[in-house]
Structure 1
Amino acid sequence: MSFSSGPSPRTTGTVSSYFSSSVPPDSPSMQSERSYSQASQAYNVDDFDLPSNYSPSISSSRPSVTLATTSTTISRPSTPSGRRSRSGATPSILGQSESHDVVCAVSESRGVTPTVGIAMVNLSLGEVTLSQICDNQSYVRTIHKLQLASPSRIVFMPSACPPNQPSTFFSLVEQLIPEVEIVSHERSAWSESAGIEYMEDFALEGDIGPLKVATQGKYYAVCCFSAAMKYIDRQFNIAFSPQSLRIGYQPSEDTMMIAIPAMQSLEVMRNLKSAKSKECLFGLLNHTITPMGARVLRNNMLQPPTNFDGFIRFRYDALEEMVTHEEMFREIRKALKLFHDAERTLTKLITIRPATGISAAEEQLTHILMIKSFLESVPEIYRALYPAKSDLLVKIRNLCRPETTVPILLNIERVIEADVTYMKSPLDLRNQRAFAVKSGLSGMLDVARQTYKELTEVIHQHSDDVGEDHRVAVTLKFDNRRMYWLRIPTADLDLESVSQYFINVIWKKNHIECQTLDLVKLNRRLSDTSNEIIMRSDAVILELVKELRKDVSPLFRVCESVALVDMIASFGQVTTTRDYLRPEIEETLALKSAKHPILDKKMASEYVPNDYYATEQYRFHFVTGCNMSGKSTYIRSVALLQIMAQIGCFVPAEFAAFPIIHNIFARISTQDSIEANLSSFGVEMREMAFILKNVDSKSLAIIDELGRGTSNRDGMAIAMAISEALIDTGASIWFATHFIELARILADRPGVLNLHLASNTSIGEGGIPQLTMLYKATAGTVDDEHHYGIVLARAMGMPSSFIEVAEKVANDLRSRRESNRQNSESCKEMHRQKLMLNLYEALKQAANSSNTEALLGYLRRLQQDYIVRLQEIEDM
């Protein structure tokens, strides 16, 4: 049994391998004519010829890391203003709040179904992710993975880049990820044998064997790892300590793909109107306390897991235990407040950089203090998890047991004073670093520290003397730039003495910030003494760092465990404050009194909940209704709730059952694309082409007002054709439209269910119709007899003369339509077929029931309802 904070399991066999994400699979195309022209239609890129196949060379042994290699930066076409185009807004759409230095190497095979290898090395977190994706000619899965990773550099083979004929994949990356820097690296760097040697040298000790098994036959992924490591060594001059990198292979399955337009329009990671607003799904769920927990939450929301038995169920159990045991939950949240971003600190510890000097020594000593603080915090989370019984929390507790961290802490305290800890204020941190190393380990260090102490006392005495001489209240302050300085109120200060005695004066509203000549001299002496302390401490710290690098593997596992607990505790915080419900995972989507999670928080009791139901026989939902009746909110809610359920969070509903979805698509926005020279309708058709090429029976798509950007007749025809194509895919579709005739014409198709957002029409003063929105989904199509659009126009202040003409025209069109409607025998036959299919679905659902008494009554009602509906069809 395995658990993960990331969407997909790494098959390395250790807990550090369970915290990752991957791109879901894309069924290999079986049609050779699926050409690059289709990719250009889906992504709006220029046409390029496919280059010839290539085969990366395999060296007999891994070249030395000191081998001189060459790399080339690929220039991008400039915008008319001469600057590089920044039209790709992926990082802001994904709500990325912290910068990571990620180097990604990519390599591809050629053919009808290209295979793409990816190796992403996160230099900020010491993490390597290998993937090999069997994609189609549009490279949808690969592009999506790269967009989510937001790499700072992407490394290609020279044969795929200019001045050679650029490959299709290269052209797509250049057009769709314009913010990334694209480089090439020499062909000899792409070596499978070198990649395997890098795994043996740098993977955590317990991960090497399982990692080799996981990457067996993954030629392109391993070659990319070799190229990425050689590029990093060449360009950044960075090395890593042995057995220190968290290397994991991510299979291209077990995660949901949320298309970037869907992520943007659904406001999954950020609010559309304001990037700083927390009114988005991530803002709603992000109650994490540690930066590590926030990263895990973000990764899961970008690619929710699809493995229920491997991940989702264990998260449900852990979350349920947290919210039902309030004392344990409070203790966990309290313990999490003690943690810093230990993941980044450990990464810096294992990174061997050539930098030397005072700054490097100070930074290394600070990292030791942060690791010590982290190790001192781990027992608190262990004690908080002691009552836990769910499998996931028990496994995390075992990873945080004292037997893992106490020996490492004792090893640190052999060199570092036990009462020294990491502090955030500049002065406190400076003093902690000065007295960090234990006394007696170095005689010269002890002498330097005594001098430091005496100089500090002299500076404080000097501050007191200044106050007495000028008869003012002097406050001694410190910062890293000026070191010690004086803050003096101006109320009682003799201003003539300022220019005579004080230097470096900065005037504020009610005080001055200044120094004296003697203070500057003391600061310089103190700085020299501090530097001597740091350098002599560094000589002692170096040996400790070497020993800590050997123990980095269990520390990374503890970090990942803390991050996962933080994410689940964040779910617990929103669950307890909003009274969410644990969902079931079934083949049927069934929600009772479900709410839009973001609006539910904003509107509280004013929000009107709704029901949702989707099965094989009701998989395509036409949603009609008046303007402002809540159609868009209704269809967006189901996608957001699906994401919440698959990342392991409870949902706002009275009852909830979800199927496992592998893809989410959305066509909502009405914006045009000036940089692509496309109108709003052009953007709409481009995105629908992308959806139609990639949607399948395990997908969920929400489509809002398709065809409204062109003429009424053409829009209706296009919406009809696309709707029929989507019905045939078997996907779960929620289709909001004002084309009421479209919903009525396709109502008899198997799988179609008509819904409308109800409203009440009443006659107000002067016999004028008035609309009251109920925001409640009801079966059937909206009744357009009272012309809700005209009623709303009147409410908005449209002149009555225009309204009267509009009503006359609408009534005339409706009478013509009614006269042309015929109840043919073929129409009756379609109704009979749909009724039979509905009966079959109901009986299939009833077969799974274990309540015999309730089942008997249900079958009687089902029989009576079938007879009544059949008679209605015959009477048509």
Structure 2
Amino acid sequence: MSDPTPLKLTPMLEQYLSIKAEHPDALLFFRMGDFYELFFEDAERAAGELQIALTSRNPNAEHPVPMCGVPYHACDSYLTQLLKKGIKVAICDQVEDPREAKGLVKRAVTRVLTPGTLIEDAGLEAKEHHYLAALFRDTQTDWGGLAWVDVSTGECTGIRIRGQMQLWSWISKLQPRELLLPDHQRPPIQAGDIASRITPLPQRGFFEFGQAKERVLKSQGVADLQVLDLENKPQLIQAFGALLAYLKQTQKRDPDHLQSLRIIHPGDFLLLDEVTLRNLEIFRRMDGGRGPGTLWHVLDQTRTPMGGRLLETRLQYPWKELRPIQDNQAVVAFFLHQEQLRGELNRLLAKTTDLERICTRISMNRTSPRDFVALLQGIRHLPEIENLLRNLPQTQLPDRQHPDAQHAELPTLLRDALGSWDNLPELTDLLGRALVDSPPLLITDGGIFRSGYHAELDTLLELVEHGRGKLQEILQREQEQTGLSKLKLGYNRVFGYYFELSRSQSGALPERFERRQSLVSSERFITGELKQLEDRLLGASDERKSLEYRLFQDLREIVDQYRPRVMRMADAVARLDVWLALAEAARKWSWSRPVITAELDITVTAGRHPVIEACQGTADYIPNDVTMDAQRRVLIITGPNMGGKSTVLRQTALICILAQIGSFVPAAKAELGLTDRIFTRVGASDNLSLGQSTFMVEMIETARILRQSTRSSLVILDEIGRGTSTYDGLALAWAVVEELVRQGQGGVRTLFATHYHELTSLEGRLAGVRNYNIAVKEWKGEIIFLRRLVPGPSDRSYGIEVAKLAGLPRGVIARAKEILEGLDAGKPNKVSPREKNRLRESLPGMAPAPAATVPGPESEILDQLRKLDPAHLSPMQALTLLQSWREQLESG
């Protein structure tokens, strides 16, 4: 901030600067009356970011002070704009009543808003989590702790992992809005745009182990770390402790609204890293957009914000154990066959509000009267939901795929949910009695409570709302008692209420009338009764607002005591919402219930890609079968561009993910072995900001797959080695296949799409490798994509035909065909056999196989030689045959 010493500062500006000095990294919103004002550089920056007018204080002075402001009752939208840009804001409020202040009103920062600590709906997506995260890594042991919290719901989670890149991979997956990091640690270059969201904090005071441990124990309400599964996770304690300290610093209160810390154990879930989430377009399309084109959009039939966020969590952490998968499948199947029930429940859920975030705002005292009405709206339908579930007929339609599963009662998970169901009748009754249907936005406006809720408030309400009538009653009574029908009642701001009568009649008034003011033609009087009523009327409005404010705070404290019960019901409603959404998706897209096993085999009959099918419809979609077993562990898939290789790869992975969240799947039938991790290497992309070429990114992702995959993993490889020269790429692709076959005691389940037709020779040479291709049909010089996966290798890639479909000029297409014919004949630009053999011998996995087992020119020539009878061969025929063999060998 520029030096203000040339200015003659007012006491108010001195107060502003002293508070600003405590928050130099935040814009200071300084409450003045009905506005939040900003001054100096803060005003200039805010005016530019918010596109509001920049004015000045004392514009005619020698050094005018830059100034801008926003109305305090409409500041949320402005704050949201700043936070989305990563700008911190310190809210400075008046902390004493201006009417009671002696001199300058006391002000203090009541909270600091940061991108990760937002709790107001205006800045949040209803069905998305909004994470604040903290990372601490011990560089000596290479162990790190990552903790994250959704401040708007109180949900907090943590994980302890070894390895810097593994930690940052999780951060990339979570995409926190703000990341707390010790100021002595620097993010790796691979952190990318997350580096711009880092808030550096000193280790002392935030990450120091002793203080962090105390904060964690206090926050979680336990005396021993073992209760939290933290006894051997010091780095996670330090990360979570830093989160707690930061929340207390910014919110100016203890973060006692947080729920129990949930520890993620990677072995408990099907792991999907950020690369897999991106390549399979789970939450975002490849272009970064949300909505249509993502699996999330296909599945999201949820009616409540809590259900939407739970569905997001399920997709991030699918189960890896049979029991929870099968239990959730049973509930989805139950609702699938109960169409009328599903419709009625969805109607009620659509009226349910965001109980989690409303409770958080109430607990943190960041609430408005309308939050209480929204809470009432959210819980008042709980009894109806319970009645629908309890009063079901005891029979249901059988599951056609499991005809023996004739459920005569509710599924276990649904029965358990009903067993702990809580309609919150006391809270419903309290809120129904207390609040008007449409309360004001602000607490200070009054008009919050119903008549009959509080006796003193009723008296004040009667005065405020019916005071005019009481004045008229007094006037009418005085007119009758004095017999002066022309006696009038008036009011002005100087004298208040008064009686007025002409001078000629004023002498007839009784002594209780006290002269207040003499005019030219009339006299004004007051009486004790009128004065008393005036005092009550003038003070009633302020008293009412003050009393309502106190009653509101009392109500907030009472409602906050119900928070644990409300949060339990929010979770129950969210789970119900997800079950209904998965059942609705299964009905809408005609999905089937998969059989999940502990084996490794995968059998999908008539499988479809759920996202493509949703976008283009079911009529034109051609389903495919995929089988992976001991004899078909690695599938080499060849075929033309645009034929559908990538679709088959992705749909298989998506079917496995859907199955392991308990969903039905887009297939006529599916039997799936559990998967511990899904890896994807898809498409061509670079990361030039990190100095990584397309090929480097490809190799980094491939290296991660080879190092981390197990026999229970599913690997999706699409075009390995295309980012370098032909023989380098072919050699690497070949070696990768060999390594995947070698790993995991029988090979890692792999779908490998490639244009390297040489890889098809691995079938028969490597156990578990099988060739498949995407079929096409040639018709009158054109190609027809059949989009069917069939056994066997493809003979060519049809790249020129695809280029023709894309609209390349005819001349270019014709010339490309000429060049291709020449290359196929081994004429121009051919690689000599000696060079080809040298490359093969120098690269792993490329040594030629024995002639008897490797198809190609050598085996064909040997076959011809064995059948040859030299005695019946003329010299000219022998020379011709030798020349033919040589040309075959040179052409490859």
Global fold match (TM > 0.5) = yes
Q: Does 1:212 align with 2:230?
A: no
Q: Describe the shift of the 1:323–1:549 C-alpha distance in structure 2 as closer, same or farther (beyond 3 A).
A: same
| Equivalent residue, structure 2, for 1:416 | 434
Aligned residue among 698, 705, 718 for 1:704: 718
* Aligned counterparts, 1:480-559, within 5 A: 533-559=544-570
| Equivalent residue, structure 2, for 1:374 | 378
Equivalent residues of 2:683, 2:719 under 8 A apart: no
Instruction: Name the TM-score, length of structure 1 as normaliser.
Output: 0.65
Aligned residue among 210, 218, 238 for 2:253: 238
Instruction: Find the aligned partners of 2:440 and 2:789 in 1 and give their Cα distance.
Output: 62
RMSD over aligned Cα, in angstroms? 4.0
Query: Match of 2:153, as an amino acid?
Result: L
Shift of 1:792: 4.5
Q: Does 1:106 align with 2:135?
A: yes
Task: Point out which structure has higher relative CO (alpha carbons under 8 A, 6+ apart).
Answer: 1
1:243-277 CA-to-partner distances (Å, cap 9, x unmatched) read: 76343333333122223232222221123357254
1:775-832 CA-to-partner distances (Å, cap 9, x unmatched) read: 1111110123xx7334545665634752552353254249999x9998635669xxxx
Q: Does 1:132 align with 2:160?
A: yes
Instruction: Find the aligned partners of 2:820 and 2:205 in 1 and give their Cα distance.
Output: 75
Q: Does 1:391 align with 2:415?
A: no
| Equivalent residue, structure 2, for 1:332 | 345
| Equivalent residue, structure 1, for 2:608 | 595
Instruction: Name the TM-score, length of structure 2 as normaliser.
Output: 0.64
* Aligned counterparts, 1:309-320, within 5 A: 309=323, 311-320=324-333
| Equivalent residue, structure 2, for 1:226 | 241
Query: Match of 2:573, as an amino acid?
Result: V
* Aligned counterparts, 1:1-16, within 5 A: none
Aligned residue among 637, 655, 661 for 2:651: 637
1:585-620 CA-to-partner distances (Å, cap 9, x unmatched) read: 122111000001112222312111000111244221
Equivalent residues of 1:366, 1:433 under 8 A apart: no
Equivalent residues of 1:583, 1:658 under 8 A apart: yes
Instruction: Find the aligned partners of 2:638 and 2:466 in 1 and give their Cα distance.
Output: 77
Q: Describe the shift of the 1:713–1:326 C-alpha distance in structure 2 as closer, same or farther (beyond 3 A).
A: same
Aligned residue among 149, 153, 161 for 1:121: 149
Query: Match of 2:725, as an amino acid?
Result: S
Query: Match of 2:676, as an amino acid?
Result: H
Q: Describe the shift of the 1:801–1:641 C-alpha distance in structure 2 as closer, same or farther (beyond 3 A).
A: closer
Query: Match of 1:147, as an amino acid?
Result: S
Name the stretch that deviates more: 669-678 or 254-263: 669-678
Shift of 1:556: 0.7
Shift of 1:703: 1.7
Aligned residue among 755, 776, 779 for 2:788: 776
Q: Per the alignment, in what secondary structure is the counterpart of residue 794 of structure 2?
A: coil
Q: Does 1:756 align with 2:773?
A: yes
Q: Per the alignment, in what secondary structure is the counterpart of residue 130 of structure 1?
A: strand
Aligned residue among 377, 401, 404 for 2:422: 401
Q: Does 1:650 align with 2:664?
A: yes
Shift of 1:291: 0.8
Name the stretch that deviates more: 116-125 or 336-345: 116-125
Equivalent residues of 1:449, 1:533 under 8 A apart: no
Instruction: Find the aligned partners of 1:632 and 1:641 in 2 and give their Cα distance.
Output: 14
Equivalent residues of 1:257, 1:662 under 8 A apart: yes
Q: Per the alignment, in what secondary structure is the counterpart of residue 367 of structure 1?
A: helix
Instruction: Find the aligned partners of 1:804 and 1:129 in 2 and give their Cα distance.
Output: 59
Query: Match of 1:703, as an amino acid?
Result: L
Q: Describe the shift of the 1:442–1:185 C-alpha distance in structure 2 as closer, same or farther (beyond 3 A).
A: farther
Q: Describe the shift of the 1:438–1:678 C-alpha distance in structure 2 as closer, same or farther (beyond 3 A).
A: same
Instruction: Find the aligned partners of 2:466 and 2:322 in 1 and give their Cα distance.
Output: 60
Larger Rg: 2
Aligned residue among 701, 706, 715 for 1:692: 706
Name the stretch that deviates more: 769-778 or 144-153: 144-153
Equivalent residues of 1:240, 1:350 under 8 A apart: no
Q: Does 1:572 align with 2:583?
A: yes
Shift of 1:665: 2.0
Q: Per the alignment, in what secondary structure is the counterpart of residue 825 of structure 2?
A: helix
Instruction: Find the aligned partners of 1:73 and 1:365 in 2 and give their Cα distance.
Output: 32
1:412-448 CA-to-partner distances (Å, cap 9, x unmatched) read: 45x615xx44x5xx87999997253452624255424
Q: Per the alignment, in what secondary structure is the counterpart of residue 257 of structure 1?
A: coil
Instruction: Find the aligned partners of 1:186 and 1:544 in 2 and give their Cα distance.
Output: 40
Shift of 1:540: 1.7
Q: Per the alignment, in what secondary structure is the counterpart of residue 267 of structure 2?
A: coil
Equivalent residues of 1:118, 1:132 under 8 A apart: yes
Instruction: Find the aligned partners of 2:702 and 2:125 in 1 and give their Cα distance.
Output: 27
| Equivalent residue, structure 1, for 2:851 | 824
| Equivalent residue, structure 1, for 2:310 | 296
| Equivalent residue, structure 1, for 2:825 | 812
What stretches of structure 1 of length at least 5 have no aligned partner? 1-69, 75-85, 353-359, 457-525, 829-876
Q: Describe the shift of the 1:436–1:139 C-alpha distance in structure 2 as closer, same or farther (beyond 3 A).
A: same
Query: Match of 1:634, as an amino acid?
Result: V
Shift of 1:675: 2.1
Shift of 1:582: 0.6
Q: Describe the shift of the 1:99–1:633 C-alpha distance in structure 2 as closer, same or farther (beyond 3 A).
A: closer
Query: Match of 1:824, as an amino acid?
Result: A
| Equivalent residue, structure 1, for 2:755 | 738
Q: Describe the shift of the 1:594–1:670 C-alpha distance in structure 2 as closer, same or farther (beyond 3 A).
A: same
Query: Match of 2:625, as an amino acid?
Result: D
1:380-434 CA-to-partner distances (Å, cap 9, x unmatched) read: 22123223601111122233233xx113334445x615xx44x5xx879999972
Query: Match of 2:426, as an amino acid?
Result: P
Equivalent residues of 1:571, 1:650 under 8 A apart: yes
Q: Per the alignment, in what secondary structure is the counterpart of residue 258 of structure 1?
A: coil
Instruction: Find the aligned partners of 1:530 and 1:685 in 2 and give their Cα distance.
Output: 73
Equivalent residues of 2:352, 2:379 under 8 A apart: no
Q: Describe the shift of the 1:580–1:208 C-alpha distance in structure 2 as closer, same or farther (beyond 3 A).
A: farther
Q: Per the alignment, in what secondary structure is the counterpart of residue 261 of structure 2?
A: strand
Name the stretch that deviates more: 796-805 or 556-565: 796-805
Shift of 1:283: 0.6
